[in-house]
A and B are shown apart, each in its own frame.
Chain A
Amino acid sequence: MMKTQQKAHKNTTKRFKNMATRAHSHDAKKPQFTDPAVQDVLSRITGLELQKVFRPIKRELKLPSYKLMTDEQLNQAINNASEQAKKLLQMPLVLPERKPIDDVLSEDPFLAGMDTAKYVFTDITYNVPHRLFKCFQKFGDVGERDRLVQVYFPKEGRKLTPYHIFKEENLKMVFSMDRHEDVLDLCLVQFEPDSSDYIKVHMSTYEDLDKHGKYDLLRSTRHFGGLAWYLVNARRVDGLIVDMLKRDLLQDAVSLVSLFHMVHPHSESAQEAALQQATGADLLKVRLGFPYNKSTYTIVFF
């Protein structure tokens, strides 16, 4: 017996706002990704290596231009470059997974056998984009909705069927070639931030980076904040802290530990730190004093 089901999907921006307020009401004390304090810490950890941000990427061939500048003008130019770099390093949103809206608007058994194919109705009103109704459809996926939105409101760079690179086996191969950044950029273009594919790809990338300790690949890119946030939420910051200390980034390590204490105020190290009122290097000592999952390191503090 074929069912007629119709699904209504709301405007995307309204949905994001609703989700943010709902998450906030659940645990009002827990800091979210979009908090200004959290964002501040994450942007500081990301760093601002101009050489890496503006490294040559594949684009149209243009002759290089040479300018004669005074020292002041040079400083001005460097400031402008760092401003633009900050814009380029804007972190993409981290959102919880979107639930498929499965509103059955009407079930009409007397329409069974009408047609072998499903009908998909899209609303293409100018000021209300991304609205979809579906007919004769048993189970709708979020992925289907994304595909149909791409059909009627195409976004540059997106494909209707996702790239083969996002499959498990291919991801492993790409990670062995150290091209995590390219994968994440492609994922940003192809998927919506709250679709399950996006979250899956990001999770596997971050896991792989954590396993091999290749945090430096993402430093000074827009994905570093997301990586740090994921590790903080999974309570596996130790590898990242050790990596930072190895590269003599003491301030970054301190801010990372403070972020961890912000997000998990009930953990042991956070309570210890609150007791001792530790700041700076003392905070690090407090954190590293507790047992962590990697093999013990001996770190000498100067």
Chain B
Amino acid sequence: MVHSSVLLKQYHGGYVVLRLALAGHNQANRPFYRIVAAFNKRARDGKYIEQLGTYDPLPNIYNEKLVSFNYDRIKYWYGCGAHPTKSVAKLLGLAGFFPLHPMTVTGAERHRAQAAQMDASIIKDEEEEQG
């Protein structure tokens, strides 16, 4: 069955979105996301149309964040007029499927600036302690 964006909009009054849905493990402080094609108006963790992948934001013992994509189905939903959210677009940009999201670069620059500032403040504190 082919989902056409016009039909979807008329019938459901919304559009399909590719977003991160928290997988309901009911466990505090341990997030795990599913990359999901769902209707826009549905709850974030509610009923979705299809699961297209996973994203684990916490790094494992080898310091890796595991992300998986079902590119074939993502292509299909994108072709049916689905909109990706910012985080999904960033992940897909990093994977190489989409072009790089501009906020990824900005985020990296901000991180670096913050790290530099932290280093500078640490050095200042050390100098004050010595002097």
Interface residues of A (CB under 8 A from B): 6, 105-106, 108, 110-128, 133, 135, 144, 148, 151-152
Chain B 88-105 near chain A by CB (<8 Å), digits 1 or 0: 000100111000100011
Contacting residues, chain B, for A125 (C-beta < 8 A):
70-73
Q: Tell me if B66 and A135 are in contact (CB < 8 A).
A: no
B65 within 8 A of A: yes
Best-surrounded residue of B65, B70, B100 (most CB of chain A within 10 A): B65
Shortest Cβ distance from A121 into chain B, in angstroms?
Answer: 4
Contact of B67 among A6, A121, A127 (CB under 8 A): A121
User: Given known contacts A119-B94, A133-B96, A135-B94, is B67 in contact with A111 (CB within 8 Å)?
Assistant: no
CB distance from A145 to the nearest CB of B (A): 12
Residue positions of B touching A, CB distance < 8 A: 53, 59, 62-73, 91, 94-96, 100, 104-105, 107-109, 111-112, 115
List residues of chain B with CB within 8 A of the CB of A135.
Answer: 94-95
A117 and B64 contact, CB distance less than 8 A: yes
| Given A105-B96, A113-B108, A114-B108; A124-B70 close (CB under 8 Å) | yes
Q: Residue on B with the closest CB to A137? A: B64
Asked whether A6 lies within 8 Å of B108 as measured between CB atoms, the reply is no
| Contact present for A117 and B108 (CB under 8 Å) | no
Query: In the complex where A106-B96, A133-B95, A135-B95 touch, is A113 in contact with B115 (Cβ < 8 A)?
Result: yes
A121 touches B64 (CB 8 A): no
Q: Are A114 and B67 in contact (CB under 8 A)?
A: no
Question: Is A124 in contact with B67, judged by CB distance below 8 angstroms?
Answer: no
A125 to B76, CA, bound (A): 12
- Chain A residue contacts of B95, Cβ below 8 A: 121, 133, 135
Contact of B69 among A111, A115, A121 (CB under 8 A): A121
Residue of A nearest to B58 (CB): A117
Seed contacts A111-B105, A116-B59, A120-B67; 19 additional CB < 8 Å A-B pairs: A111-B104, A112-B108, A113-B115, A114-B107, A117-B63, A117-B64, A118-B59, A118-B62, A118-B64, A120-B66, A121-B67, A121-B68, A121-B69, A121-B96, A122-B68, A123-B69, A124-B70, A125-B70, A144-B62
What are 25 residue pairs bridging A and B, where the CB atoms are less than 8 Å apart in the complex?
Answer: A105-B96, A110-B109, A111-B105, A111-B108, A112-B108, A112-B112, A114-B104, A114-B108, A115-B65, A115-B111, A116-B63, A117-B64, A118-B64, A119-B64, A120-B64, A121-B96, A123-B69, A123-B71, A124-B69, A124-B70, A125-B71, A133-B96, A144-B62, A148-B66, A151-B66
Assembled-state Cα–Cα distance A118/B45 (Å): 27
Query: Nearest residue in B to A127 (C-beta to C-beta)?
Result: B72
Nearest 9 pairs of A and B residues by beta carbon? A117-B59, A114-B108, A113-B112, A122-B68, A121-B95, A125-B72, A118-B64, A120-B64, A124-B68
Q: Given the complex, which residues of A lie within 8 Å of B68, measured CB to CB?
A: 121-124, 152
Alpha-carbon distance between A120 and B72 when the two chains are bound, in angstroms: 18
A142 to B119, CA, bound (A): 37
Q: Which residues of A contact B63 (CB under 8 A)?
A: 116-118
Q: Which residues of B contact A118 (CB under 8 A)?
A: 59, 62-65
Chain A residues lying within 8 Å of B72, measured Cβ to Cβ, are 125-128
